[in-house]
Structure 1
Amino acid sequence: MRKALGRVRRRAEAAAGAVRDRRRHRAIAGAAATRPGIAVFYGHDRLPGPDEPAHGGTIKFQQLASAFPNEPRRFNLLYFGSSVRPSDSATLLRLARERAAPIVINQNGVAYPGWHGPGWERTNKPLAELLRAADHVVYQSEFCKVSSDRFLGEPRASWEILHNPVDTTRFTPEDRLPRPLTLLLGGNQYQRYRLEVALAAFDLVRAEREARLVVTGRMSWHADAREAEREARELVARSRAGADVAFTGLYTQREAPEVYRAGDLLLHTKYNDPCPTTVLEAMASGLPVVYSASGGTPELVGPAGIGVPAPLDWERDHPPGPEELAGAVLEAAERREELAAEARARAVERFDLTGWIERHRQLFTELVG
Structure 2
Amino acid sequence: MSSRHLIDRVKALIYDVYVFIMTHGKEFLRWRKQASGGVGCRVFYGHDHIPSPGEKASGGIIKCQDLQKDFPNVVRGANVLYLVSSALPTCPEILVKYTKKSCVKLIVNQNGVAFPAYHGNNLEKMNGPRRFLLQQADHVIYQSDYCKISADKYLTDTVENYSILHNPVDVQFFLPAKKPARPTKPVLLMAGSHGFFYRISSAVQVLSSLKKLGIEAKLMIYGRLAWKNDAEECRKELIAVCRKYGAEDMVEFGKSYRQIDAPSIYQSADLLIHTQYNDACPRTVVEAMACGLPIVYSKSGGVPELVGEEAGRGVSVPMDWEKVHPPNPDQMAEAVVEVLSSIDQYATAARERAVKRFDVRDWLEAHKKIFETVLGQDR
TM-score category (smaller protein): over 0.9
Q: 1:158 aligns with which of 133, 157, 161?
A: 161
Indicate conservation of the 8 Å contact 1:28/1:72, yes or no. Answer: no
Q: Indicate whether 1:52 and 2:55 are aligned.
A: yes
CA separation of 1:19/1:254 partners in 2, compared to 1, >3 Å: closer, same or farther?
Answer: farther
Q: How many equivalent pairs are there?
A: 367
CA separation of 1:198/1:242 partners in 2, compared to 1, >3 Å: closer, same or farther?
Answer: same
Indicate conservation of the 8 Å contact 1:289/1:306, yes or no. Answer: yes
Counterpart residue type for residue 41 of structure 1: F
CA separation of 1:196/1:7 partners in 2, compared to 1, >3 Å: closer, same or farther?
Answer: farther
| Distance across 2 between alignment mates of 1:103 and 1:40 | 10
Identity %: 41
Indicate conservation of the 8 Å contact 1:134/1:157, yes or no. Answer: no
- Any idea what SS the aligned residue of 2:46 has? coil
Query: How far is the alpha carbon of 1:117 from its aligned partner?
Result: 1.6
Gaps of 5+ in 2: none
| Distance across 2 between alignment mates of 1:30 and 1:236 | 58
Query: How far is the alpha carbon of 1:310 from its aligned partner?
Result: 1.3
Gaps of 5+ in 1: none
CA separation of 1:226/1:10 partners in 2, compared to 1, >3 Å: closer, same or farther?
Answer: farther
Indicate conservation of the 8 Å contact 1:135/1:157, yes or no. Answer: no
Indicate conservation of the 8 Å contact 2:141/2:164, yes or no. Answer: yes
| Distance across 2 between alignment mates of 1:309 and 1:115 | 19
- Any idea what SS the aligned residue of 1:251 has? coil
- Any idea what SS the aligned residue of 1:45 has? coil
| Distance across 2 between alignment mates of 1:46 and 1:126 | 22
Counterpart residue type for residue 170 of structure 1: F
| Distance across 2 between alignment mates of 1:93 and 1:281 | 32
- Any idea what SS the aligned residue of 1:137 has? strand
CA separation of 1:90/1:248 partners in 2, compared to 1, >3 Å: closer, same or farther?
Answer: same
- Partner in structure 1 of residue 237 of structure 2: 231
- Any idea what SS the aligned residue of 2:279 has? coil
Q: Indicate whether 1:92 and 2:95 are aligned.
A: yes
| Distance across 1 between alignment mates of 2:158 and 2:265 | 38
TM-score, normalised via structure 1 length: 0.94
Q: Indicate whether 1:212 and 2:218 are aligned.
A: yes
Q: Indicate whether 1:81 and 2:84 are aligned.
A: yes
Counterpart residue type for residue 337 of structure 1: D
- Partner in structure 2 of residue 132 of structure 1: 135
Task: Give 4+ residue runs of structure 1 displaced > 4 Å after superposition.
Answer: 3-20
- Partner in structure 1 of residue 338 of structure 2: 331
List per-residue Cα deviations over 1:68-122 (Å, max 9, x = no partner).
0011221100111111111221111111111111111111000000111230133
Indicate conservation of the 8 Å contact 1:206/1:241, yes or no. Answer: no
Counterpart residue type for residue 364 of structure 1: F
CA separation of 1:237/1:41 partners in 2, compared to 1, >3 Å: closer, same or farther?
Answer: same
Q: 1:181 aligns with which of 180, 186, 191?
A: 186
List per-residue Cα deviations over 1:212-255 (Å, max 9, x = no partner).
10011111111232322221122123231221100111000010
TM-score, normalised via structure 2 length: 0.92
Indicate conservation of the 8 Å contact 1:260/1:282, yes or no. Answer: yes
- Partner in structure 1 of residue 327 of structure 2: 320
| Distance across 1 between alignment mates of 2:96 and 2:241 | 44
- Partner in structure 2 of residue 200 of structure 1: 205
CA-based RMSD? 2.1
CA separation of 1:316/1:51 partners in 2, compared to 1, >3 Å: closer, same or farther?
Answer: same
